[in-house]
A and B are shown apart, each in its own frame.
Chain A
Amino acid sequence: MRQGEKSRGSTGVGRASKREARTAWLFLAPGLALFVLFVLVPVVAALYLSLCRYDIIHSPVWVGARNYARIGEDLSNHGVFYLSLRNTAQYALGTVPVGMALALGLALLVNAGLRGISVHRTTYYLPVVTSLVAISMVWMWLYDPSYGLLNYGLELLSRAVSFVTGHKVMIPPQTWLGNPGQAMAAIVVMSIWRGLGYNMVIYLAGLQGIPEHLYEAALIDGASRWQRFRAITWPLLKPTTAFILVTSVIGASQVFAQVYVMTNGGPNNSTTTIVHQIFQNAFSFLKMGYASAMAFVLFVIIFALSLITLRLTRGGQVEYA
């Protein structure tokens, strides 16, 4: 996706580009070998399985496109796969924009070079450091309707408001994870909490890559902070932003662990996600073929979204003025 590469036309270059190509393949070889073996081959196997009925115990039985037809039926009947698509979309729309904006803001603040900033950097990264499984259990408890901190916080809030206004105000305890209308939002909040430090760190690395002398030159020219951001920071962060956007979308589309631990898809199918459906069908219902078909439908969706994203950000290209 690099533009502006003119082809060079003389014999000397032909040899050079052949040598360049050979070097390139040498650099790629070890990683690519592992990659082909442990990623590419299983993906092709999964594609084959998506055209079979496979209960993992017996050999796969070819059924052609029947799994895909079943997905089509499910979508038109608003079945459970349709619901998982809807829920995954809600999750992605909830976590990606907010998460990225907050992460950028945080990174800018942390990069401002204040003394003692490393404390803040650490506290914001802390959520990333624990395992998703463990932290989901803690949050499950925070959300508990009878004992959780959140409902306790609501009670304190009620009391404070009552005290201040002089009326008896009561914010009733919420069900959170047990409420079909709130469960997904609850998981979204927890995921933003967790993902913040992650994207912040990537933005920090990107900010570090912006040469200091550009800012110095701009300061000399009398540019304001906002102008410096718009003219220097934001454009030079494009590759980072593109990267974070694409990986966030890919990650959000594949959300699984939190759902599995906290709600197992409920209540009333309001939190089941695509990968949750895949997992359930593969390992509980032993419908590996159907699960693989769902995985490839997911792939097509993510691929399309990523292409659009990369097109919008123009591949994260960077030009130095």
Chain B
Amino acid sequence: MRLGIARKTLLHLLLAIGGVAMILPFLWMVSTSLKPEREIFHYPPVWLPSAWQWGNYGRAMESAAFGQYFINTTIYATMVTVANLLLCSMAAYAFARLRFRGRDTLFVLVLGTMMIPAQVTMVPVFIMLKRCPLVGGNDWLGMGGHGLLNTYPGLILPAAVGAFGIFLLRQFFMTLPRELEDAARIDGCSEAGIYWRIILPLSKPALATLGIFTFTAAWNEFLWPLLITSKDSMRTLQLGLQVFQSQYTTRWDLLMAGTVVVTLPVLIIFLAGQRYFTRGIAMSGIKG
């Protein structure tokens, strides 16, 4: 689409105004993280601190074992993302392209589970993980120990596959034209080959999207890690941020500083993954 200069500037202006509204809360967050405590509750609000408290960031990170939390969260988020990308794409391929009895019913069933709020399934899953036989000190009946509580598998497995990912990828796979696959099938390529060599490469935008969403969601996940871990060595970053709040007071400056630090990795991942959103798909191979 070609646009004239005037249109381009107007566009940039509109987007910029909206953009300011988008990032205003973040500017506030950063501003608060750098203020001395007395200036936090000031009216009219103060944007620029009178004395820049860079030390808040250091103090925030020292308030708990954020280094360990960072490692835990990275492992958790990465593993969940990889598992989702792999398992959901395989399942989505089956739902989108292969025919078998019960396919549509199964898909509806999978979709249906998205409609049950996780809060009511947490207790059964917790008990299941705790009673997992032959791990964590359990005997073969699953009694006696802690099972998969306080472990990485316990964190990761319940989130390793999700209906959202299957749904997203299935919809996307359905938009891909069948000619490429039919040509490959005629050439004798197996289904696995088609999946790996044709479908996946063409689906980079959708996969990138799912990957970023899954990573972000896992990075920001709060309730499940809270319930499944009760050792400091297994906590995640979001749990670590809770250390700045108590019943009657909150250290807003440290909390904001901690939040900024915790948010940065996801932001970087998004910036790095940006190019997958802009890449055009080479569909020219179909013509002729």
Contacts and interface: CB of A to CB of B under 8 A. Distances in A.
The yes or no verdict on A and B being binding partners is yes
A271 interface: no
A236 B266 CA distance: 31
Contacts of A23: 94, 98, 191-192
A89 B225 CA distance: 30
B88 interface: yes
Given A243-B167, A299-B116, A127 B22 contact: yes
Contacts of B219: 131
A37 interface: yes
A292 B164 contact: no
B270 A282 contact: no
Interface residues of A, number: 109
Contact of B121 (A34, A43, A109, A306): A43
Given A30-B87, A130-B259, A133-B238, A279 B94 contact: no
Contacts, number: 277
A232 B91 CA distance: 29
B21 to A, nearest CB: 8
B184 to A, nearest CB: 14
Interface string A103-120: 000100110111010111
B44 to A, nearest CB: 6
Contact of A212 (B41, B176, B252, B280): B280
Overall SS of chain A's interface: helix
B174 A282 contact: no
A256 interface: yes
B175 A28 contact: no
A138 B122 CA distance: 28
B263 interface: yes
Given A42-B121, A139-B25, A243-B167, A147 B43 contact: yes
Contacts of A211: 281, 283, 286
B92 to A, nearest CB: 9
A45 B277 contact: no
Interface in B252-280: 252, 255-256, 259, 262-263, 266-267, 270-271, 274, 277-280
Size category of the binding interface on chain B: 35 or more
A303 B112 contact: yes
Looking at A42, A137, A141, A206, the one whose CB has the most chain B CB atoms below 10 A away is A42
Given A124-B19, A126-B22, A138-B28, A46 B116 contact: yes
B70 interface: no
A216 B133 CA distance: 61
A82 interface: no
Contacts of A236: 175
A262 interface: no
Interface in A35-80: 35, 37-43, 45-46, 49, 56
Q: What 5 A-B pairs are tightest by C-beta distance, nearest first? A: A131-B220, A31-B87, A42-B121, A21-B100, A42-B124
5 contacts: A114-B3, A134-B263, A141-B252, A206-B172, A250-B115
Interface of A: 1-2, 5, 17, 20-21, 23-25, 27-28, 30-32, 34-35, 37-43, 45-46, 49, 56, 106, 109-110, 112-114, 116, 118-135, 137-139, 141-142, 146-147, 149, 152, 155, 193, 196-198, 201-202, 204-206, 208-209, 211-213, 225, 236, 239-240, 242-243, 246-247, 250, 253-254, 256-257, 274-275, 278-279, 282-283, 288, 291-292, 295-296, 298-299, 302-303, 306, 316-318, 320
Given A20-B98, A34-B157, 6 more contacts: A23-B94, A132-B220, A133-B222, A208-B280, A225-B1, A295-B117
